[in-house]
Structure 1
């Protein structure tokens, strides 16, 4: 967050602009909810499989497909972040926000995170996409 605020200051924009508009670039603790929820669902699906329910394969296909789609949405969201932030800033009709160099702002915000977070993100994508795709293949052809 500090890196993003420094970038705003460098651009001559008030450093409070992000917080005034509900934007954050930090790991504030709420990020655990989605992974914990997904892990809970996957554990429940595993339980259904272990119980030998006849409809487990159908449930597997649905859940694995949703995991693929959900992670795809996350990757797309990350890839189009500059456009989304630019649109959000323009929606505010704040002339100061409309002149922000959004790619530079996002680059500064990303630089504030430790390098291992990007390695972890790539690893997570490989694992999530790979495991979900493998799960679908196993259900369909295994």
Structure 2
């Protein structure tokens, strides 16, 4: 059962690594599309840079998923080694990953509303004028169609993999 938990944790790690990989590859196209949409809305595209808004894999867009992947890899190694600490680490980190991924899904589902609020909080009057729905659609459409499927697979892998890992260490009773 520890091997099953470890395999699931490694799948979760790969799922999280896929986030910055996709953003690195297609983020520049998303930025260009978002800037074109801003020009269509008569908003200066530079407002993105001025407010440190990104579509690439820089900053926390890489650090957060890479950290999750590293922690899940370490936890998987502990499970493979049969370490006493493996069950506790699995319970802590697989549970956190479940909660974090639920937050990510919620954020994606409420993106227009949350981005509108974030733009208003920035205090930049030009940014506050952005019609967010077409802005986000333009950026999203710059990603290949398969990215939507990859997102569903990633979320399924994270939810199922974390749940299975939790069940596996619980049934092992280490």
TM range (shorter): 0.7 to 0.9
1:65, distance to aligned residue in structure 2 (A): 0.4
TM-score, normalisation: structure 1: 0.85
Q: Which has the higher helix share?
A: 2
- RMSD, matched Cα: 2.1
Q: 1:36 to 1:109 in 2, by over 3 A?
A: same
What is the CA–CA distance in structure 1 between the aligned matches of 2:59 and 2:142, rounded to whole Å? 17
Structure 2 CA distance for partners of 1:24 and 1:50, relative to 1, 3 Å:
closer
- Separation (CA, whole Å) in 2 of partners of 1:38 and 1:16: 32
Number of residue pairs aligned between Structure 1 and Structure 2: 142
In the other structure, the counterpart of 2:9 is none
Tell me the equivalent position of 2:22. Answer: none
Segment of structure 1 superposing worse, 82-91 or 130-139:
82-91
Task: Tell me if structure 2 keeps the 8 A contact 1:13–1:100.
Answer: yes
Q: Structure 1 34/92 Cα, relative in aligned 2: closer, same or farther at 3 Å?
A: closer
Aligned to 1:85: 115
Larger radius of gyration: 1
* Residue 72 to residue 15, structure 1, CA distance change in 2 (3 Å): same
- Structure 1's unaligned 5+ residue stretches are none
Post-superposition CA distance 1:28-50 (Å, at most 9, x none): 59744434332322222122223
Instruction: Report what 1:123 is aligned to.
Output: 153
Take 1:54 and 1:74, find their aligned partners in 2: how far apart are those partners? Answer: 31
Q: Does 1:109 align with 2:139?
A: yes
User: Where do 5+ consecutive residues of structure 2 fail to align?
Assistant: 1-30
Match of 2:170 in 1: 140
Query: Using the alignment, how far apart are the partners of 2:121 and 2:80 within structure 1?
Result: 50
